[in-house]
Amino acid sequence: VQADGTDGNCVTFVLHDEDHTLGNSLRYMVMKNPDVEFCGYCITHPSESKINFRIQTRGALPAVEPFRKGLNDLMGVCQHVLNTFEVRLLPEERRGL
């Protein structure tokens, strides 16, 4: 959903089957970008499993770019946590600890 009178720098993305777990993590990653002026999300209703995720950027940067970068950065963080877990904890599990 694009705001009236904008050229793509203010967009609300609707994410289905998601909740605060993704919303807050993604908001944190997107806000690390200095070109993002505003980023926030809301749960539309407790009985609906979707969030409205809004990004507004400075200048002519399209909002979809920090959205994609935030998703990719978040995937990288999750992969790092998984790799660290597997390296540190799984060898002990194999030794019977």
User: What are the residue boundaries of the structural domains of the chain, listed by start?
Assistant: 10-92
Q: Apex CA 24: angle with CA 19 and CA 26, to 5°? A: 100
5 has a pLDDT exceeding 60: no
Mean pLDDT over 18-27 rounds to 95
4 has a pLDDT exceeding 90: no
Q: For position 14, what pLDDT does the model report?
A: 94
* Cα–Cα distance measured from residue 73 to residue 9, given in angstroms and rounded to the nearest whole number: 20
Q: What tens digit of pLDDT does each residue of 43-89 get?
A: 989 888 899 999 999 988 999 999 999 999 999 999 999 999 888 87
Mean pLDDT over 21-28 rounds to 96
* Cα–Cα distance measured from residue 21 to residue 82, given in angstroms and rounded to the nearest whole number: 17
Whether domain 10-92 has CATH 3.90.1150.10:
no
To the question of pTM greater than 0.85 for the whole model, the response is no
